[in-house]
Every structure is written in structure tokens, then in C-alpha cells.
Structure 1
Amino acid sequence: MAKFEVGVIGLGKFGFYLAKSLVNLGHNVVGLDNKSDRIKRAQDILTQVYEADATDKGALSQLGFADLNHVIISVGHSMEASILIALYLKELGAKDIWCKAISDEHEKVLLKIGVDHVIFPERFAAEQLARSLVVPGLIDYLPMGKGVLLKEIIVSSKWEGKTLRELDLTNQYGVQAIAIKTQEKGEYTFVPKADQKLKKGDILAIVGKEESFKELSP
């Protein structure tokens, strides 16, 4: 996986944990906030941390945020501040800007000024939780199109001894097995072989449209 230089502006709960996750994935993260307690919490975790006012265009320029691969703006509930920061980053030539929004109107303004990606963390988390509650085995609800799911299917006696080639899931149900977890290994192996025989209790990670899973019975 390529290593990125990522800037996170606003180190509140969302910004801090996002930045920490990016570091854990091996990327360099530059954090920026105007509150000393947040800087103190992040300084031993992130690659670099600066205490400054992100609505100061000169500070953004001096700290080199426009030169990073990605910049995420997460400044809490201040619509005005996030819009101003995004505008300055665009003027400075930032390559890829992500910004947390708090309303549909906020999103419209951000897109108008050229923000590349708008994030609604609470909305996304709520949708994921709702899907997990009502769809057993759901791993993820993917933003690849309407109703696309990534779901775990446990192999029962009906599929035991058969291969993925014999099951022909793509043509029969319109879904695709992308990984398998056997009881022997206990972890996923991706891109399973078409001629691998399935055993009862094996777990398949399958991607497809939500309606396709209604016909699927392992």
C-alpha cells in the first residue's frame, strides 16, 4: 500500500481517531488544532502536530498543508470555519480535500467551492449500525452503488463438498465470493480458488446487491 502524507485539521474526537487510524495504517499524519489539550493528546501519536488557527491562510501555507496528498477538515460544528479553511486550501492548491459537514446546506457550499469529498460521520455510522442490526452477517454496506453489501455467509451442509466453480454464484445469484475463512486457518484468504472444496462451517465473504442475498441459501 502506498504511503501518504495526510493533514488533519481539527483534532476533536473524529479528527483525532481518524488521524490515529491513519498512523496505524502506516501513513504520515500532520495534525493542526488551536487547542493545547488536543495538541498534547496527539503529539506522541501523530507524525507532526501544530497548534495554530486553521482559518489563518498564512499558517496553512507556512505549514505546507497544500503540499500533502490529502487534507481532512474536521472542525466540529463551525460551518463558517470549515468553509473558510476549505476555500483557503483550494486557493493554495491543495490536491485532495475532505471535509466533515453538519448539514445538507453545508455540503452544498463545500461542493460549490470545490471540496473533493464531503463526510457525514454520524450519518454513515448510523446507516452502518442500522444495516448491521437487520442484516445478519453484514460486514459492510458499501458506497459502490445502491444497496451493495459485503456479507459473511456460513457454509452449511447444502454447500459442503462443493466448489465455488460448481456453485457458480455470479451467474446463479449475481454475487461474488471475494474471501474465505476456513476453520483450520481462522483468518480470511482473499480471492479464493474456484476449485477449492468448501467445508461445513467455512465462512465466505460475499459482495453483491442486497436483493441478491434474499435468494442466496447456503
Structure 2
Amino acid sequence: MKREFAVIGLGRFGGSICRELSEEGMDVLAIDIHEEKINEYKNIVAHAVIADTTDENTLKELGIRNFEHVIVAIGENIQASILTTLMLKELGIKKITVKAQNDYHEKVLNKIGADHVVHPERDMGRRIAHNIISTNILDHLELSDDHSIVEVKAGSRMHGKTLIELDIRAQFGCNVVAIKQANDKQINVSPMADQIIDQDDVLIVIGADKDISRFEKQLVLDE
């Protein structure tokens, strides 16, 4: 069964979401106040509509209540983003994801009930920064303001040792939740304490940012 999404705002962020969701076979309603944006996406998504989403009656006429997830990707107009989110919340939308322009914008969105707030530029900057520190750090995903999950490649310091020998939880306060062995395509979820780590194995580690930082500097990064 196809899932239905509505994306409001067709800038780079909203437009890329529309493309990805459509390529995955989802039904997407794309909404923007500018005709040229609608013309750009009308042959990509299931439906594309010119509309001002700060008007409650317009949202009702679009049948927005029928969509299980609405993504508000409005660009520079913070007021329109906040008003749209507020309207969607009042209309009872199950899940609302909103792009925030800054920390103040995020605080307001959280207060009015946005389910998920994203900072695409900030978050991507952090991921890139972590990735360029070392080739051992493959990916970095924020879970909250102070907790993350990282994907790291085991280096020489970890080679040939078991999880119990490395004692990552006690030493750094982090948890290894999965391991993908270098010579195996399968992911081992909840690995045993006696599992031996080989160089180039990929570890999925979750924890507080300060603990992950210590783990990366002291154990992951090769000298």
C-alpha cells in the first residue's frame, strides 16, 4: 500500500524530498506558492499545487487531513513556516516534520507541536566535519542535542581484541549496538562480548556526544 506525503515548499530541501519519495513509489502532494516551482515538479510527483498554506481554508480544500505525514520545507519565510505548522497541528495531522532556519525557529516549532525539526545545513555540516576528521569515521547522525549514533571503521588499536577487552561501555560510556564484519555483508546486531574485532570492521556506536568524542580520539583514530 502506497503511503501519502505532502511537501510544502519546493526549494532545494523540499524538492529533494519530493524526488526521493516519488522515486520510492510514494504518493506525493507538492505545494508551493510560486508557479515556477510547481511547473518544475508537476511531472515528478503525483500532484503539484500552487497554494498559500498559511490559510486554513486552503489547507482544508487540499484535503491535507488525508496525509499521514506533512513536511514543511518553507525556505526563508519563518513566519509562513510557523503559521503553516500551527495550522497543520490544529487540523490534526499525525506527523509533521519542519525545516528550521535557526535555533530560535526550532524552539518555536517545538512549542507549537512539530513532531520533528531538522536543520539540513547545520546537520550536514556536522556530519561532514566528523567524516573529514579521519577516514575511520564513516557517518555521524544526531539523535538529539547531545546524543548521536556513529558508524566507525575499526583501526589498528582495536584489531584482534574482543568487545570485552576493549570495554567500550565502561571506558567511554558508549554502546556498540551492531557490527558489520569486513569480510561479511551481514550486520551482527547486539554482538556478543567475546566477538573479536578485526581491522576495517564497521561498528555502530551510540552514546552522548562527549563520550563518543573521547571514544573516537582514544580508540578509533589511528595514530
TM-score (norm 1): 0.77
1:102 aligns with 2:101: yes
1:192, CA displacement in angstroms?
6.2
The aligned runs of 1:37-76 (5 Å cut-off) are 37-76=36-75
Structure 1 unpaired stretches of 5+: none
CA distance in 2, matches of 1:125, 1:38: 24
Amino acid at match of 1:156: S
1:137 aligns with 2:147: no
* Partner residue, 1:30: 29
TM-score (norm 2): 0.76
CA distance in 1, matches of 2:140, 2:34: 35
* Partner residue, 2:13: 14
1:147, CA displacement in angstroms?
5.0
Q: Which of 213, 216, 219 pairs up with 1:216?
A: 219
Change (3 A) 1:82 1:146: closer
Contact 2:8 2:30 in 1 (8 A): yes
Change (3 A) 1:6 1:140: same
* Partner residue, 1:189: 187
1:167, CA displacement in angstroms?
4.6
1:151 aligns with 2:151: yes
CA distance in 2, matches of 1:145, 1:86: 22
1:85, CA displacement in angstroms?
1.8
1:121, CA displacement in angstroms?
2.0
Amino acid at match of 1:203: V
1:136, CA displacement in angstroms?
4.6
Number of equivalent positions: 215
* Partner residue, 1:113: 112
Paired residue secondary structure (2:17): helix
CA distance in 2, matches of 1:83, 1:145: 21
Change (3 A) 1:127 1:192: same
Contact 1:173 1:216 in 2 (8 A): no
Contact 2:158 2:198 in 1 (8 A): no
Paired residue secondary structure (1:216): helix
Amino acid at match of 1:189: I
Contact 2:149 2:204 in 1 (8 A): no
Q: Provide Cα deviations, 1:84-114, integer angstroms capped at 9, x if missing partner.
A: 2223223322222222232444334434433
Amino acid at match of 1:216: L
1:158, CA displacement in angstroms?
5.5
Structure 2 unpaired stretches of 5+: none
Contact 1:152 1:204 in 2 (8 A): yes
Q: Which stretch of structure 1 is more off in the superposition, 139-148 or 56-65?
A: 139-148
1:82 aligns with 2:77: no
Over the aligned positions, Cα root-mean-square deviation in angstroms equals 3.2
CA distance in 2, matches of 1:143, 1:67: 29
Change (3 A) 1:80 1:132: same
Amino acid at match of 1:191: V
Give the % identical residues: 35
